A and B are shown apart, each in its own frame.
Chain A
Amino acid sequence: GNSVTQMEGPVTLSEEAFLTINCTYTATGYPSLFWYVQYPGEGLQLLLKATKADDKGSNKGFEATYRKETTSFHLEKGSVQVSDSAVYFCALSSNNDYKLSFGAGTTVTVRA
């Protein structure tokens, strides 16, 4: 079946630091890959996505590249801000099932 594994948190950083959150997956076929973000007290928001190998999703300074050879979709941001403090979820949907499989979430706290 489908599964997503992402690095455990919590992660605490200083402003302007580099952020990486690792995500690897197991899936049949050619899944689409997503990063969702959940700010305190809110629901999940789509941050970025990639639908095929070597695609790079990007938004708000965050990037993630779909790596089929390593079955990974790591999230990166070069210079984080306090407003990036949130829980980040990696997810996938496979090409024979429209449901999403989520990772456990990684809590990121950015300090001024």
Chain B
Amino acid sequence: ETGVTQTPRHLVMGMTNKKSLKCEQHLGHNAMYWYKQSAKKPLELMFVYNFKEQTENNSVPSRFSPECPNSSHLFLHLHTLQPEDSALYLCASSQTSGTQETQYFGPGTRLLVL
């Protein structure tokens, strides 16, 4: 496989469920990102990991819990979500050798919270 992959592509969950989103990058990058894309809203950066360390958390509610076990894998653990959390969740990766490196995105997970 090449690029950035995300699973599952679609997910429907109830507000009491626990689920996880997975992202894997095959590009040898050291930084990984979670974004949320909601209808009619700008793209929102949620979390940033650089060399497995979280370097940014943009005031994301604790019902979203990221995990980065190594530079190639990124998870987003979900629990007790709300209907307004329904969105497309995008993962991206980049090589932060200095600055201004291109981010490469996965296809996203379309999440529906009932």
Instruction: Using known A-B contacts A99-B56, A104-B42, determine if residue A42 contacts B96 with beta carbons closer than 8 Å.
Output: no
Comparing B13-21, B76-84, B104-112, the segment that makes contact with chain A is: B104-112
Interface size on A, residues (CB 8 A): 24
- Given the complex of chains A and B, what is the CA–CA distance between A36 and B48 in angstroms? 19
B105 contacts A45, C-beta separation under 8 Å: yes
- Chain B interface residue bracket vs A: 20 to 34
For the A-B complex, the count of residue pairs with Cβ-Cβ distances under 8 Å equals 51
A100 contacts B103, C-beta separation under 8 Å: yes
Hey, what's the 0/1 contact readout for B5-49 against A, CB within 8 Å counting as 1?
010000000000000000000000001010000000011010010
Give the residue among A31, A45, A46, A98 with the most B Cβ atoms within 10 A: A98
Using a CB–CB cutoff of 8 Å, the interface residues on chain A facing chain B are: 31-32, 34, 36, 42-46, 49, 51, 89, 93-100, 102-105
